[in-house]
Structure 1
């Protein structure tokens, strides 16, 4: 079921702070919508995680692939 999550809820699910969520939205990496406060749909959040698996999003304007360590 699709729901709208507030930024604090998105941050909790991504295990980051609210500022990082706002950065991701501002950069266009995560699509939000504003209905009073900024919100993100659960479908968009799921798609975001699939699209960005294996990437370093520390700087959303300079996304890098994670290096895989092979022993």
Structure 2
């Protein structure tokens, strides 16, 4: 079943702080909708993880492939 998650829930799933989630949304890497507060669908969150698998998101303005050392 698909659900809407608030920013705190998304942050817990991604294991980052809420500000990082807001930055992902602000820079267009994660799509959200506003129903009172910002929400992210579980479909979008799953798609985000697939789209960004193997990428380095340290700099949202310069996303690149992850370099394995």
Q: Deviations over 1:9-34 (max 9, x none)?
A: 00000000000000000111000000
Residue 32 (structure 2) pairs with residue 43 (structure 1): no
TM-score with structure 2 setting the length: 0.95
Residue 22 (structure 2) pairs with residue 22 (structure 1): yes
Q: How many residues align?
A: 69
- Which has more radius of gyration? 1
After TM superposition, which residue ranges in structure 1, 4 or more long, deviate above 2 angstroms?
Answer: none
User: Equivalent residue for 1:57?
Assistant: 57
For structure 2, the residue ranges without an aligned partner over 5 or more in a row are none
Q: How far does residue 46 in structure 1 lie from its aligned partner after superposition? A: 0.2
TM-score with structure 1 setting the length: 0.93
RMSD value, Cα: 0.7
